[in-house]
Structure 1
Amino acid sequence: MKVCLAAALAAAFAATAMSQDSPAELLRELQAQKALLEEQRKELKQMTETQESMAGAMDSAWLVLCGALVMFMHAGFAMLETGCCRAKNASNVLMKNLVNDGNCQSTMLSWFFQWASWMFGATIVSGCVAERVKSPTYAFFAFCMTSFIYPVVVAWTWGGGWLASIFDVGYMDFAGSGVVHFTGGVCGLAGTVILGPRRGRFENPEEFEYHNIPLVVLGTFALWFGWYGFNPGSTLSMHDKEMGALAAQVAMNTTLSAATCGITVFLLKFALVRKYDEKSKAEADRKAAEREKEAKEAEAAEEKRKMEEDQKRDDARRRTADRSDEPKRSLSEEKRKKEEEMRLREEELQKRREKKRALEQEA
């Protein structure tokens, strides 16, 4: 039994030794696996670099597109402000919106988007002081705001300053509601308080009505279109589905906000002035006043015409009476002349008699 067991074990070891490869074959197999792993590592690295490059390209394209849309918003501001002001100040308002473009020399992508954003803040002030400042004055203000005021606010918030970590919570501003709009609004309020209202704005409000409604509507739609670059573009990237979903949510909120505000203002305007547009009421009142004025002028012209006709009839009647009385006047004139001659003769005779009497008395 023991002999059989030993023989079986010997046969098993022999079979195992025969089935195993030689050390040279094992080395070659290990080298082949190492080369395969190295090739796979290079392919993985190349794929990672390609993915990162594509992500960077998508982010760059996204920011450039959004920055261009924000830039286009200035065209909307220009049309909106120009249509709302008087025609004589339209060129001045357009010039102020062009001054906001500044002089950005940087080619960095973030600078392009931020440049478009701070231009937006300066344009807010342009609407607040429209028709009250000259172009050189506004150009100087735009330079001061974009060079000293806006950068400080950005450094305090988006730049990781003291507001970014205040109260252990930090100031959060996704698309610039405070950094851009609040800063521009405060500067515009300061300018409005210093400058005061336009001359005659409340004494003769009809003279300050907007002169071009189609331009206002086009500017509004241009601004609405540009908001889809300003708000969703604040995600600053578009390389994964999370950022895409966030940008889509921001775009949806932008659409709902614009639609809700438009309907609210529409209904509020009707509730306050009983008209969908305040200008339509002013236009109706102006036309009614013009019709009343025209009626009064027509009535006065009719009275004047009647008076002229009466005067003409009186003049004709007087001329007719004068022609009929002309012979009588000629006879009375001759009689008066004869009486005057007789009176002069009697006076001459009286003088002679007195002279003769005086001579007789002297004799």
Structure 2
Amino acid sequence: MGVEPVGSSSETAAQDDGVWMSACSFTIFTMTSGFGLLECGRVSAKDEVNVMVKNVVDMIFGGLAYWVAGFGLTFGSYAEWSNPFVGVGDFFFDPERNDTANFNEKGLSYTMFIFQMSFATTTSTIVSAGMAERIHLKSHCFISFFITLVHAVSGHWVWAREGIFRRIGVIDSAGCSCVHLVGGVSGLVATLYLKPRRHRFGSNGNKNISDPTKAILGFFMLWWGWVAFNTASNYAVSHKQWTEGTRSAVATIMASAGGGIVTVVISRVTMRKIEIDMLIDGMLASLVSTTAGCLFYTPWQAIAVGSIGSAAALSIYPLTEWAHIDDPVGIIPVHVVGSFWGMIAPSIFLNKDYGLDTNQVTNDMQLNGLLYGGGFTLLGLQTLAACVIALWSAVCSFVILYTLQHSPIGLRISKYDEELGADLREHGLSGQNIQSYRVEKKITAQQLSAVMTTIVRWRIKARLGAQRRKRLAELTAAAREDGMQQQGYGGNAFEMRLVRRRQSNAAVNEAHTSAA
């Protein structure tokens, strides 16, 4: 992958490309902070810190997995084992082992690794959003590691020159399928496998959102990171490729503008107000929609793609609620619906004339979309790639989750731990209110046990109190009925009611004593 420097300006071209991609990689890594803020702002206050820690884990274990095998599975260049399905070579990435590579080639290899690693860790972060507030931190470490490898294999299919889908003409400039669709489908499988959080559905169900301001700030960080995410996906600024980058930047912004307008209108019409969840998910879906064809879209095409993506994503809201699918951070509308539309969009809007004649990173087959006389060929290819990668992600994620659940590591936290919150159980932090996490202090095992005991006793007392109030209400009603039926015999009626009340109190006190 990438651009090989040619001619007398090869060293200058390599330097320019390396600096450009490194700078964009640093910007993309800031998206991790955005994911963290977006997640912790949309979960309950008692899990905010745990969510941020899991985003750190995604970088640590996802990055390790990509160094060990991920880069090699995608771009492995061992010629004798070259094949369309998986990369071979470059495991435990270290360009210094290649004695035949020159200075520029080694430099570009380092640049390519850090850039692609930022994409890989994004995949595992998407999955973590679908499992928010329901799994152990130790389980999440393993999931981050192995989901990165799932991404790496599918990345070979669409990005490597010998990859099966790239060879037949599939277009995916910035990881619409191998990043967002892999993460979205894996997160969907995870949230179905784990089942909903306590008190999420039912007559008293609700969606906890601890801090909308954090969620919006996280979205802003993702928004500006997305410009680098798409713009640098041609891997270079030399050899006229900077023109693709600038077109991609404009397309990214205009898609979010079109998607934002549609989102505001839909939210206002359906909810009579601007819902924070809908605003964020609608605009993120518009950004995801651009990732497959971002290097080719003109401004009006980008507006159309982003608008349709937002509308499609928000249309799925009623279905997820009806099906009781607990999606805390909106991965289904954003990364499943948005990704499928993003893969289909090039088959409609792509014009091969907007690409480069040489140094292409996608559309090697020079295909056109439906609007430019390309017929249904590209539509069939894009649909095939999306379905195969979705199936691959679903199967792999299920195997990972099933294996962890039936291993000593475990998977889902208990209902009591979920009630207390992962901040307390995983990190020993206590003290939150309904709006924000205020106190961070270590507690001992004895203190934790006392807290849990107090909570259990309080719940028992509350239940018994409710039973007592219900019984007294029944006695009051019975006494009124006796009074109406026994007028003139009030003394005995009063004595009867007094006896019934004493018997009821004795029964409740006996139950309270046995429970304590």
Paired residue secondary structure (1:126): helix
Paired residues of 1:82 and 1:94 also in contact (CA < 8 A)? yes
After superposition, the C-alpha distances for 1:156-183 in whole angstroms (9 at most, x for unaligned) are: 2212222223xxx422211111111111
- 1: distance between equivalents of 2:21 and 2:211? 34
Is 1:155 matched with 2:156? yes
- 2: distance between equivalents of 1:262 and 1:126? 25
Q: Which amino acid aligns with 2:198?
A: R
Aligned to 2:236: 237
CA positional deviation for 1:278: 6.8
Aligned to 2:57: 99
Quick check: which has more Rg, 1 or 2? 1
After superposition, the C-alpha distances for 1:244-275 in whole angstroms (9 at most, x for unaligned) are: 21111100110011122222222111111212
Aligned to 1:222: 221
Paired residues of 2:39 and 2:215 also in contact (CA < 8 A)? yes
Is 1:252 matched with 2:254? no
Aligned to 2:187: 188
Paired residue secondary structure (1:179): helix
1:65 counterpart (23, 29, 34): 23
Aligned to 1:164: 166
- 2: distance between equivalents of 1:201 and 1:88? 15
Q: Which amino acid aligns with 1:82?
A: C
Give the TM-score normalised by structure 1: 0.59
**Unaligned stretches of 5+ residues in structure 1:** 1-46, 280-363
Aligned to 2:259: 261
Paired residues of 2:28 and 2:229 also in contact (CA < 8 A)? yes
CA positional deviation for 1:109: 1.5
Q: Which has the higher contact order (CA 8 A, sep 6+)?
A: 1
Q: Which amino acid aligns with 1:98?
A: V
- 1: distance between equivalents of 2:54 and 2:24? 23
CA positional deviation for 1:211: 1.4
Paired residues of 2:123 and 2:147 also in contact (CA < 8 A)? no
- 1: distance between equivalents of 2:185 and 2:275? 28
Aligned to 1:272: 270
- 1: distance between equivalents of 2:176 and 2:271? 31
- 2: distance between equivalents of 1:220 and 1:278? 11
After superposition, the C-alpha distances for 1:91-116 in whole angstroms (9 at most, x for unaligned) are: 11111111111324746211111100
Aligned to 1:54: 12
- 1: distance between equivalents of 2:180 and 2:7? 40
- 2: distance between equivalents of 1:275 and 1:87? 24
Is 1:125 matched with 2:127? yes
CA positional deviation for 1:155: 2.0
Larger fraction in helix: 1
Give the TM-score normalised by structure 2: 0.42
Identical aligned residues as a percent: 31
CA positional deviation for 1:48: 5.2
Paired residue secondary structure (2:30): helix
CA RMSD of aligned residues (A): 1.9
1:111 counterpart (93, 109, 113): 113
How many pairs does the alignment contain? 226
- 1: distance between equivalents of 2:238 and 2:163? 28
Paired residues of 1:125 and 1:188 also in contact (CA < 8 A)? yes
Paired residues of 2:212 and 2:276 also in contact (CA < 8 A)? no
- 1: distance between equivalents of 2:220 and 2:93? 30
Q: Compare 228-237 and 151-160 and name the one that shifted more.
A: 151-160
Aligned to 1:313: none
Q: Which amino acid aligns with 1:276?
A: I
Change (3 A) 1:62 1:272: same
**Unaligned stretches of 5+ residues in structure 2:** 1-5, 68-91, 95-109, 278-516
Q: Compare 186-195 and 154-163 and name the one that shifted more.
A: 154-163
Aligned to 2:148: 146
- 1: distance between equivalents of 2:205 and 2:265? 23
